[in-house]
Structure 1
Amino acid sequence: MLPTPKQEPDVQCSWWEKGAASVASPFGANGVELGKNFTSNGVRGNYHVFAEGIDFSRPVRVVVRLHGDGAREYDVADGLTACLADQANRHNAINVVPKSPDTVGSVTWWEDIPRNREWLGALLQQEIYPRFGLSAQDSVWMGYSGGAEMITYGILPRNSEWIGQSATMVGGGGAPHEVAVQPSAAQRENLELAWVVGLNDDGRDGTFNALGNARAGAEFYRSIGFARVQEAYPAGYDHVSVPQIKILDQRLSGEAISLG
């Protein structure tokens, strides 16, 4: 008998409604801006920014979080997305949550990678980093399911320099056919790559085999010289129940992923 899947806490994190931000910041009310528009080369998309209590007198990081297929996390901003943002802000990290500019069928990152990648790169390099005096070197990436696939198929093979400190692939992150632009020696040595997938997330229900994809992705990037590859495949979790809030906390704290 299979173990009962553990569940991500079903909580609401509408914390921006509870009062003013504790530290003055150049953001909207309580450091939150939802549904902002950004257009690059005729491609229009949207994004959220969460920055409650960010102290710009201290080192600031940027968490770039890519949603899964369908973009439900983006659309329901006071659920998991806001809980993740709260965790990022506690680590003095701005949380940027872009929505793929995909306009055909279900919203995904991976169905038109070149178009979506160009828009995402422009958003970060032309809007986010200049606005807040940051750079790609300050970035920590996290992708879930299709968002994890975007990182391993779309970003790392061609623009690994966009990821400054680490990338965490949750519920996916397969191996590309090739790397179009080779990462530098420094990136291979220093960039932290982590895959986190529940052992039950193996396609047993006839859908996406995230476990197989993640194992292949981790092995591929290890084989081309990335020295800091971490894998975590905890028992009792499936595609929707992996505790992403805890994972982000551990990644931002510099801890090894432990979900026992």
Structure 2
Amino acid sequence: MTRQHPRRGPRWPWSWLTHRHRHRGQASRRARRRLRLIGAGALALVLLLVATVSLLLGRDEETPQAETPETVSCARYGLDGVRVTARGPGGPTDAAVLDARVFGPGEDRQDRFQLDYEHDGITSSYHVLAEGLDWDRPVGVVYHFHGDGAFEYENPQYTASCLAEVAREHNLLLVVPRTPDRAGEITWWEERDRNARWFLALVEERLEREYDIDRSRTWLTGYSGGAQFISQELLADHVDLVPGGGAIMMGGGQAPDSPAAEPTREQLRELRLRWDVGTEDDGSDPRARFNAVSAAWDGHRWYEDQGYERARIRYRDGVDHFGLPYARILERALAAAAEDSPEDSPEDSPEES
């Protein structure tokens, strides 16, 4: 029998199928290689983009803040079209020193933040916003008392920056103290006597010694719990703090329990006391259970009954506890005082429903 060479033997009926499968496997391997190459290229491109973005971000972080200072819009505080430098610790206006009682050249005319002060075992801190004032003319002062939680103090780049712009226009120093309260939700109105002792000592022992303040233009402004502190403590027991100027209670300002102060006839005649509250600020909002409408009405009525001839109240229709235009309210009050206007302007009529 003649033995056939395996390579020359007859083809079996399924040999053609085996040949096709071999070619299919080769095509599949080529496709997988192409996919791997495409995937590797895409990964390299992603890594390149990440590196480029990281480089650009690194350059932005190295840009000096003073060259591109942050600004804040004061529209939400009632000053449409006004943008100001966001003032605060670490910003372009920060000139705080380690010892607040020792000034370097010109530091008494710069903004200074988070300055500590201790009196009789009570410790807290304060900001002084003095940038842009004309010290060749008399400089008055605005003391602003924050609401519960101290947002205005902890974030001076917002409310305080816009209030400072209004104060600057009227050559007034802006001081924003932080309540000494540290227990629970921090407030001015809890432990009012203790908090007042610290604040009055701050004014007498430090601020009035460091700054040449025209006390005839002293203004107290407060929001919510800060307004309560003014009406129930400072005006009620320490009205001599305000020999001239006035007080603005926003979103609060209830009548005192047992007042001890005895205002002079001049104070009764000249001090401008203003309450400003939204009609929706009645305690029905779950975010603000305090009935500021009732508190403002109560405080205004009480002080008016005591003989304060320039006590005024405004109810802002449709405004809630968080919508008061703080800076515009201050601006209107200061403008009226500067013009010695006997009443508020028509836009800010004394009473509205």
**TM-score with structure 1 length normalisation?**
0.89
Partner of residue 173 from structure 1, selected from 226, 230, 253? 253
Alignment gaps of 5+ in structure 2: 1-74, 96-104, 338-343
Aligned residues: 251
Q: Distance in 2 between matches of 1:8 and 1:93?
A: 18
Encode CA deviations 1:40-84: one digit per residue, 9 max, x unaligned.
111111000001111111121101000000001100111111111
Partner of residue 241 from structure 2, selected from 147, 162, 180? 162
Corresponding residue of 1:100 = 179
Corresponding residue of 1:197 = 277
Which one has more relative contact order, counting CA pairs under 8 Å at least 6 apart?
A: 1
Greater Cα shift, 121-130 or 176-185: 176-185
Alignment gaps of 5+ in structure 1: 1-5
| Amino acid aligned to 1:142 | T
User: CA RMSD, aligned part only?
Assistant: 2.5
Give the Å deviation of 1:259. Answer: 5.4
Q: What SS is found at the alignment partner of 1:78?
A: coil
Partner of residue 114 from structure 1, selected from 177, 193, 209? 193
Q: Distance in 2 between matches of 1:99 and 1:182?
A: 27
**TM-score with structure 2 length normalisation?**
0.66
Of Structure 1 and Structure 2, which has the larger fraction of its residues in helix?
2
Percent sequence identity over aligned pairs: 34
Q: Distance in 1 between matches of 2:183 and 2:94?
A: 39
Corresponding residue of 1:14 = 86
Corresponding residue of 2:328 = 246
| Amino acid aligned to 1:88 | A
Corresponding residue of 1:124 = 203
Q: Distance in 2 between matches of 1:64 and 1:19?
A: 19
Give the Å deviation of 1:198. Answer: 0.8
Greater Cα shift, 150-159 or 174-183: 174-183
Q: What SS is found at the alignment partner of 1:36?
A: strand
Q: Distance in 1 between matches of 2:280 and 2:333?
A: 22
Change (3 A) 1:20 1:215: closer
Q: Distance in 2 between matches of 1:20 and 1:116?
A: 27
Encode CA deviations 1:194-251: one digit per residue, 9 max, x unaligned.
0000111111225111011001100000101111111111112111111001111111
Equivalent runs, 1:1-260 vs 2, <5 Å: 8=77, 13-14=85-86, 17=91, 26-27=106-107, 31-134=110-213, 136-163=215-242, 164-205=244-285, 207-254=289-336, 256=344, 258=347
Q: Which has the larger radius of gyration?
A: 2
Give the Å deviation of 1:181. Answer: 2.4
Contact kept in structure 2, 1:8 and 1:240, CA below 8 Å: no
Q: Distance in 2 between matches of 1:232 and 1:196?
A: 5
